Structure 1
Amino acid sequence: MFVDSHCHLDMLALDELGMDLPEVLAAAKKRQIEHMLCVCVSLAEFPAMLAKVKPFAEVSVSCGEHPLHQSDSVDAELLATLAAQQDVVAVGETGLDYFYNPDTKLSQQDGFVKHISVARQLAKPLIIHTRDARADTLALMKAHNAEQASGVLHCFTENYEMAKAALDLGFYISISGIMTFRNATELRDVVRKLPLDRLLIETDAPYLAPVPHRGKTNQPAYVTDVAAAMAELKGVSIAEVARHTTNNFYQLFKGAAHKNAAA
């Protein structure tokens, strides 16, 4: 069985898929995906996201403010209140993105630090987005003791040195369909080097559909294709990738494990 460790079910263009949400989840189940983590990008949109997926036992949620979605200042008190809910298994996604918004570096850093603080306070793991901000991401993680919360660097596209630094802090690395893209040579080299017991797989749906679905709206069912690509790269069976990445997911996101057990 597989887990999609990062998707945005509330953002799916269901008309493009020709399915409603229960059908999307059924399609995932047919491909042996047993659980999905629906990741929040906006505190303002969190209540609506939670309401949409709450009926489904196979879906867990996070709570946070994406660095490209945040206002000038993240409301730390609101974040702590929302993220404290029992349904929330992680804090984020948060982090730094200097590729798209280099002019908001300071506000992004402030928001990231607040997320780290809330995650530590609630003892819930962090979901970290990082792009073109390797040094600052690691520096803030270290300076503010992110290792006390643990977490994952999601949709990883950085170099091996950054991955190793994150592993040394007790974090996991999550790999998306980008690994299957023709120009992702460096990322594939990184994946070959990383140990299976520290890897997760994800779709980041509706974005970044893996080959052979490139150009289509992504969906959780396609996480199996990410697993197959990882298995080929690492020279192991897809069953071994499934076993490791699923175990890793429940080890990190313990609230999801409890929800899945109760389903």
Structure 2
Amino acid sequence: MFLIDTHCHINHLNNNSQSPELDSVLKQAYNKNVKLFLSISTSIQDFYHLYKYTYQYKNILLSCGLHPNYTHTNNDLEVMKLLAKNDKVIAIGETGLDFYRNKKTKKIQKKLFEYHIYISNKINKPIIIHNRQADNEIFSILKSNKNKLCSGIIHSFTGNIDLARKLLDIGFYISFSGIITFKKSNDLRSILRFIPLNRLCIETDSPYLSPEPYRGINNQPYLLYYIAKNIQEYLKIDFLEFTHILNKNFFKLFKINKEIHKIINKISYKNDI
């Protein structure tokens, strides 16, 4: 059984002269049995770069979305609607709200978020949500659009148990990143016991949020193994069983057919997929 990185920015790992090449990134990941990746886009330009960077790799799937922290045009919205129909795209996002960096754009962010919900519903692909200091607003928008929701996931969850319950009640999945491994994340780890295993996902969010004991270095997908081990040990569940549950959740949420298993089984460290 292999691990799935459900949220990474794999094209951002190669953004300077000292960054690793993609083959090297994947080889390290394969050595830790991380063999399937959902790489997230944050703008139209980012999507084009991501697609060109990864199109030959059948085990790297994509999202298409416009991040709330960046400025986007009306034309970007129309282009996103078209790009989101691509077969390699399995999700819409990342989208959501971020009031940590800029509270002046609240109205713009909310409209953009609602547009992503509309596209997600229209093409029947789940939505990936970014949330920073916007718990109430995120849930309020989701609740008001409840009948329009396809399905979705909150990535890198850092909220409280009340928010987790509300999200679970409307059918969402919850994903944990390297933050869950931090020494000061005891409160966040305690929430794990309240999350049904069939709604749980894990991610690296690489190149950000490296887990313990690798904080301070550039995060890579192979470090997903340490996130998985940390959660598995905390929950006291068999590692292979835990991996099986995580994979089943991913396949169900993102509507992945069993053909992906054939692709994964063909992967070699020479990267000849």
If the TM-score is normalised by the length of the shorter chain, which range does it land in?
over 0.9
Q: Distance in 2 between matches of 1:165 and 1:75?
A: 31
Q: Does 1:98 align with 2:99?
A: yes
Identical positions, percent:
35
**Residue segments in structure 2 that go unaligned for 5+ positions in a row:** 264-273
TM-score (norm 2): 0.91
| Structure 1 residue 17, shift from structure 2 partner | 6.8
Which letter does structure 1 place at the counterpart of 2:260?
Answer: N
| Structure 1 residue 235, shift from structure 2 partner | 1.4
Write out aligned runs for 1:1-263 (5 A). Answer: 1-13=2-14, 19-71=20-72, 75-145=76-146, 148-255=149-256, 257=257, 260-261=260-261, 263=263
Please say if residues 120 and 146 of structure 1, whose CA atoms lie closer than 8 Å, have aligned partners that are also in contact. no
Q: Relative to structure 1, is the Cα distance of residues 125 and 258 closer, same or farther in structure 2, using a 3 angstrom cutoff?
A: farther
TM-score (norm 1): 0.94
Calculate the aligned-residue CA RMSD, in Å.
1.8
SS in 1 for 2:71: coil
- Between Structure 1 and Structure 2, how many residues are aligned? 262
Instruction: Determine the structure 1 residue equivalent to 2:269.
Output: none
Please say if residues 117 and 149 of structure 2, whose CA atoms lie closer than 8 Å, have aligned partners that are also in contact. no
Please say if residues 14 and 22 of structure 2, whose CA atoms lie closer than 8 Å, have aligned partners that are also in contact. no
Q: Relative to structure 1, is the Cα distance of residues 259 and 204 closer, same or farther in structure 2, using a 3 angstrom cutoff?
A: farther
SS in 1 for 2:44: coil
| Structure 1 residue 69, shift from structure 2 partner | 1.8
Which letter does structure 1 place at the counterpart of 2:224?
Answer: V
Q: Relative to structure 1, is the Cα distance of residues 143 and 39 closer, same or farther in structure 2, using a 3 angstrom cutoff?
A: same
| Structure 1 residue 203, shift from structure 2 partner | 0.2
Q: Relative to structure 1, is the Cα distance of residues 259 and 147 closer, same or farther in structure 2, using a 3 angstrom cutoff?
A: farther
- Deviation track 1:109-159 (CA, whole Å, cap 9, x = no partner) reads 010000000000000000001111111101111112376310100000011
Please say if residues 43 and 64 of structure 1, whose CA atoms lie closer than 8 Å, have aligned partners that are also in contact. yes
Q: Distance in 1 between matches of 2:222 and 2:84?
A: 27
| Structure 1 residue 233, shift from structure 2 partner | 1.4
Q: Distance in 2 between matches of 1:37 and 1:123?
A: 17
Please say if residues 72 and 107 of structure 1, whose CA atoms lie closer than 8 Å, have aligned partners that are also in contact. no
